[in-house]
Amino acid sequence: MIKWLDRIRRLRASLAESVEQSDVGLFHQAIGGALTTWAIMETRLVLVASLLLKLDPQKTGLIFYSVINFQVWIALITELFPMEPDFTAFQRRWNKIAERLRAEKDHRDRLAHEIIIKSDPILKPSPLDFRSKSRHFRPLTFQEVITFRDRIGAITDDIGSLLDDMRPYLGSSSPRKSS
């Protein structure tokens, strides 16, 4: 009887560990998907800057990916709009996108730098991250990571639409008003 109880306990522990590893694995996949969506969005930002600078995307990418601070990316693009008469009508639309991106940056950084606590699973700052900013964050759940990915996907789509609307005006001097 004791052998059977030990087997059942080991099996139960093994199953619990498998479920835990599965949950953590899904969490890792969700984080990877969210960060990949962010990277796709960054690529589209480089394309917007490429149009504004009237440079090929490779040169623009070299410049932008050399700038480590994402807030600088947003600021540069924002400052380029009024300098380029072909695209000034799109400034307001860009500003709305830029505000949404600024609001998401801390979430992106958390996905890149925080750790998964297996027992829950949740995403939390490292126990060695003593910055006051980090201490004020509440843990992120799996669903919150998925929701972040979806929000970034929507922003990425909006940047894609902006690009599609800007391309016909490349080289013209009087774009239509854009909302």
Q: What's the confidence (pLDDT) of residue 133?
A: 87
pLDDT band at 118 (very low <50, low <70, confident <90, very high): confident
N- to C-terminal Cα distance for the chain?
75
Q: CA 49 to CA 80: how far, in whole Å? A: 8
Q: Is residue 18 a part of any domain in this protein? A: no
Residue 9, in any domain of the structure: no
Mean pLDDT calculated for residue range 84-112: 96
Specify the pTM. 0.82
In a domain, 2, yes or no: no
149 in a domain, yes or no? yes
User: Is residue 12 in some structural domain?
Assistant: no
Cα 142 from Cα 111, distance rounded (Å): 11
Residue 147 lies in a domain: yes
Question: How many Cβ atoms from other residues are within 10 Å of residue 148's Cβ?
Answer: 23
The answer to the question of residue 14 being in a domain is no
Q: What Cα–Cα distance (Å) separates residue 161 from each residue in 97, 121, 132, 165, 176?
A: 11, 36, 38, 6, 15
Question: Does any domain span residue 146?
Answer: yes
pLDDT recorded at residue 15: 43
Domain that holds residue 28: 23-169
Q: In whole numbers, what is the pLDDT of the chain averaged over residues?
A: 87
Please return the burial class of 160, using the count of CB atoms within 10 Å of its CB with bins 0-12, 13-18 and 19+.
Answer: middle
Q: How many domains would you assign to the chain?
A: 1
